[in-house]
Amino acid sequence: MATDRNGLTLPEGSQRIFDEVVPVILEFVPSDCLLLGGETALAARWQHRASFDIDLLTPPSTYTEAIYDQWSQFEERLEELPRIRILTLGLEGCTVYCEHGRVEIVASSPQTRHSRSQDSTCDPMIALEANVEILAKKLHRRMLSHGRIVPRDLYDMAVARRLEPEALEEAWSAGPVRDPAVLVAALSSFSPGWMERHEEPVANPHYPELRDSAVQDMLDDVRSRFPRTSIPWRQ
């Protein structure tokens, strides 16, 4: 899947969505104001699981001017495409559902100092979000701030520990961790098999052993960083 580091081919599912929807988005948002981020960027580099969504990040001001304030024109143009099903609009982002999956355009400020990588998609060329930025957002904006824990994020963390431990270390330091006990309590509540029973399981993991141990690995990681956390170990 991945070719050279400056021209990455996306996972098959994501590539179909990219080819279908992104050219229209580029009619409204300049390519240098977009980053392809999240799980698709990780999957393009690591080839560690399937991905069927596209996350496009843009500065809040660009999102407001290019998408939110031009929503009628944007919606009309997208509806010219075949098999576009649902469009949703919010102040912080919008979602386009198509035959092969989903595209989210998110008004997003960076979590780290180096959010833009040197990698890009092939055609059209859009820069990829840096791995440390992706991991930092999963940790600080999803798990720690909002208490949202899903299997794919735990699996991504487990793969990062194996393939890019330095990026994971930097991600942990990219924001405050005020109450690690809350995260430990949530992880401790997951019974064996939770990763596979979840409504959003990991799709086609390349490292099934990391998927199977992802909850315990995350618990061990948090416990090692915050040894005074008082929530008991999961039995």
pLDDT, tens only, 113-162: 989 999 999 889 999 999 999 999 999 999 999 899 999 999 999 999 99
Among 9-13, 45-49, 58-62, 229-233, name the one with the lowest average pLDDT. 229-233
**What does the pLDDT average to over 42-55?**
93
| pLDDT classification of 233: cutoffs 50, 70, 90 | very low
| Joined tokens for residue 150 | 């899903």
pLDDT, tens only, 155-205: 999 999 999 999 999 999 999 998 999 999 999 999 999 999 999 999 999
pLDDT, tens only, 52-82: 899 999 999 999 999 999 999 999 999 999 8
| Joined tokens for residue 165 | 């431990």
For the chain, domain boundaries: 12-129, 133-225
Question: Closest Cα partner for 44 from 130, 105, 141?
Answer: 130
**What does the pLDDT average to over 29-37?**
96
**12-129 architecture in CATH?**
2-Layer Sandwich (3.30)
